[in-house]
Structure 1
Amino acid sequence: MRVSKLTAVLCASVAMPAMATELEVTHWWTSGGEAAAVAELAKAFDASGDKWVDGAIAGGGGTARPIMISRITGGDPMGATQFNHGQQALELVEAGLMLDLTDVAEANNWKEIINPPSLLEACTVDGRIYCAPVNIHSPEWLWLSNKVYEDLGLPVPKDWNEFVASAPKVREAGKLPLALGDQPWQSNLAFGAMQIAVAGLDAWKAVNVDKNMDVAAGPEYAKVFQAAAEARELAKGSNVQDWNQATNLVITDQAAGQIMGDWAQGEFQVAGKVAGTDYTCLPGLGLNEYISTGGDAFYFPKLNDPEKEAAQKRLAALLVSPEVQVAFNLKKGSLPIRGDIDLSAANDCMKKGLKILAGGNIVPSGDMNWSPDVQKQAEDLMVEFWKSDMAPEVAHQKWVEILKSGL
């Protein structure tokens, strides 16, 4: 990436630095694919004349977020920090601890270029903009090892139902049908993926957008919990912790499949695997092709330092710039937050996501629909469900009560 290109982007909002300003940036991107992607952000910021000080926190968002929040509220803020789209940083914004980026957004026409608009809306509180979206991540994908099926003489499944039907032969061959890591958010992600895939878009919207508890308690969602019980059986023997360890079981053909977000692409890419040849990706588990507009954004805690504040605004503008959006998202496996950039180098899986995004078959992520408290209770329920023999009917009833508590 040439400095001249970055200069053109940054001059639209804030002046270039006379000398490098260091900013510590905290995030939870530590897997191979994630590290390759975040390195693109650091490279671009350093090339622009400032200095990215990496503050990676291992263990995923569930581990990192409390540390980040504690530092900000405890008077030891970083220069910038990752959060997911939605309400994760809302209380920090309302407490006056986050930098207002409205001037940067207006100078760079974010309202015109960021797509879908819900991404910027998730950054907006009382009409002011407090974060820079960097990607769209959809968690509802089924990733399959083509070789596992080729070795068994079976066709690669085209959807979740075919995947479940193939599982007995996969198990008989000594392979793991479904890889699933032991972190709580992973079982919760798998359940979320099944909601639209099995219940369908209309039922999902009725529950999560319209808050219709009759639909939540009805037969469409009873099917979701039955599917989750099936998946629980398929995942028995998946003795790994981290999501990327589970992805590696698919990459190395030890497991047939994994339900995971499109960030799994980064791991396949680092391993030299080719989409459509070595592995297959099924958005919406192949049943209902859609993507949810989750993903990541960067917030900038107030530092009471004019020099660092100027650097924060330069970084915010840079993250949304066309060159950075291309370089970062091609490595991350996520979709860009602007549709006016060249992604001809995208692989087959990213092209599937781009096609779905262009067609408008999208839904807001859970972070945008339910409060953090409801999400945490639902996650705890899913952990209990996946680690026990809890009947799906019991889990269903408990889940509905959790949703009602958030109305």
Structure 2
Amino acid sequence: MRLTTKLLAATAMVSASAASAVELEVTHWWTSGGEAAAVAKFADAFNATDHTWVDGAIAGSGGTARPIIISRILGGDPMGATQLNHGRQAEELIEAGLLLDLTDVAEAEGWKDLVNPSSLLDACTLDGRIYCAPVNIHSWQWMWLSHDAFAKAGVDVPSNWDEFVAARDALEGADIIPLAMGQQGWQQSGAFGVMAVAIAGPDAWLAVNRDQDVDVAAGPDYAKVFQAAVDAREMAANSNVQDWNQATNLVITGQAGGQIMGDWAQGEFSVAESVAGEDYSCLPGLGVNQILDTGGDAFYFPLQDDPEVEAAQKELAALLLSPEVQVDFNLAKGSLPVRGDIDLSAANDCMQKGLEILASGGILPSGDMNQSADTSQQVEDLMAQFWSSDMSAEEAQEKYADIISRAD
């Protein structure tokens, strides 16, 4: 699969060397079973060209991988391409002139007409220039429920957060962990954000995360969120796992009733051959406010002093958004495509729910698009402290409001 004629014309300065085979190291943090199956779709497509995908998987979460990726770029040891989340994570690298400008690729391929919602491409844009290729829409706004667990507990599968909380005693009576939660700040912070959208509501979430409204962060709507977080902490007390995919496996195997986790969890269900609607259910917005935050992943391309490498980088950028690759990757990943013009009739029940919400316009920008990396890290640190202690809802809310008051 090669660049379109339009794109070759748009990159005439390097097209003479575009046919030269290049080995391109690609770094990412997709290492769970479902994630590895998904990223293999990208690798296979790129390897079908004259080039070679050299996989640079970094074990751990994005919080582990991002500092390594950024350190390499700043230290003069850049990879050919790297996954990051679209948002503000790469701002300083762009401002330092260390990332490849992809505007010519985007214009030749018509990304502005294809990428939906447009905020995804906006998040790749700085001063009118495009610096990344968005590849999927990932949303945190999901809860995953084990049918086996609730059947064993003798209660119906919940349809919303309140019903889930009400099922706690039945689940614990059947020796089932009510809520699976990995012991990492980013997971706990993500779950808190889901509860905030569901319980405080989208308007309150935007007031805090977009507008840095301290009064809302310290007010009664968010007080309900922090009380829900206390409930969640108690329900997850026996969830003694570290990684998110280990927590997902507790749900897949019926050892836990549910998990609040982004739609990337679907990749794990897929690898386990679990069937949506039969083996597990999904609740967008905890069944309360059915809305998606439109975060996700994008690929950035560190500048290289080599026209052949640059040509291969631009070829990969175009390939990542091509229709066939978008379908193959997102079906495997459990995410939604960034293109609004492709057929996903093969998507499972949960993906279809997400597509319907997306089509209805029920979307929010992700936290990464609103908060700086520093603010996000402070919230993660607070949540890690909260979940590993008996910190009260009131104390946690006070600390949270202070972070929002200083947000940049």
Matched with 2:12 is none
Establish whether residue 114 from structure 1 lines up as the match of residue 112 from structure 2: no
Correspondence list, 1:266-281, <5 A: 266-281=267-282
Deviation at 1:173? 0.8
Local SS of the residue matching 2:269: helix
Matched with 2:207 is 206
Structure 1 unpaired stretches of 5+: 1-5
Establish whether residue 12 from structure 1 lines up as the match of residue 13 from structure 2: no
Give 1:190's aligned amino acid.
Answer: A
Deviation at 1:204? 1.4
Local SS of the residue matching 1:150: helix
Deviation at 1:217? 1.3
Tell me if the contact between 1:10 and 1:314 (Cα under 8 Å) persists in the aligned partners: no
CA distance in 1, matches of 2:279, 2:40: 26
Correspondence list, 1:1-400, <5 A: 6-7=1-2, 10-14=4-8, 15=15, 17-400=18-401
CA distance in 1, matches of 2:396, 2:211: 22
* CA offset digits 1:298-353 (Å, max 9, x no partner): 00000111000000000000011111100000000000001100101000000000
CA distance in 2, matches of 1:215, 1:182: 28
Deviation at 1:49? 2.1
CA distance in 2, matches of 1:396, 1:287: 22
Deviation at 1:11? 3.2
Tell me if the contact between 2:153 and 2:173 (Cα under 8 Å) persists in the aligned partners: no
Deviation at 1:182? 1.3
Local SS of the residue matching 1:12: helix
CA distance in 2, matches of 1:113, 1:246: 35
* CA offset digits 1:98-133 (Å, max 9, x no partner): 000000000011111101111011111111000000
Deviation at 1:370? 1.1
CA distance in 1, matches of 2:56, 2:204: 41
Name which of structure 1's ranges 46-55 and 16-25 shifts more when overlaid on structure 2.
16-25
Tell me if the contact between 1:17 and 1:50 (Cα under 8 Å) persists in the aligned partners: no
Tell me if the contact between 1:24 and 1:52 (Cα under 8 Å) persists in the aligned partners: yes
Structure 2 unpaired stretches of 5+: 9-14
Deviation at 1:21? 1.1
* CA offset digits 1:139-190 (Å, max 9, x no partner): 1211000111112221100011100000111011111000111122111111
Give 2:385's aligned amino acid.
Answer: E
Work out the number of aligned pairs and report it. Answer: 401
Local SS of the residue matching 1:13: helix
CA distance in 1, matches of 2:28, 2:115: 22
CA distance in 2, matches of 1:248, 1:151: 17
Matched with 1:406 is 407
Give 1:124's aligned amino acid.
Answer: T
Amino-acid identity (%) = 67
TM-score by length of 2: 0.97
CA distance in 2, matches of 1:18, 1:259: 46
TM-score by length of 1: 0.97
Tell me if the contact between 1:10 and 1:318 (Cα under 8 Å) persists in the aligned partners: no
Local SS of the residue matching 1:282: strand
Tell me if the contact between 2:213 and 2:404 (Cα under 8 Å) persists in the aligned partners: no
Tell me if the contact between 1:26 and 1:56 (Cα under 8 Å) persists in the aligned partners: yes
CA distance in 2, matches of 1:402, 1:347: 39
Tell me if the contact between 2:58 and 2:65 (Cα under 8 Å) persists in the aligned partners: yes
Deviation at 1:207? 1.9
Tell me if the contact between 1:159 and 1:287 (Cα under 8 Å) persists in the aligned partners: yes
Tell me if the contact between 2:210 and 2:371 (Cα under 8 Å) persists in the aligned partners: no
Local SS of the residue matching 2:167: helix
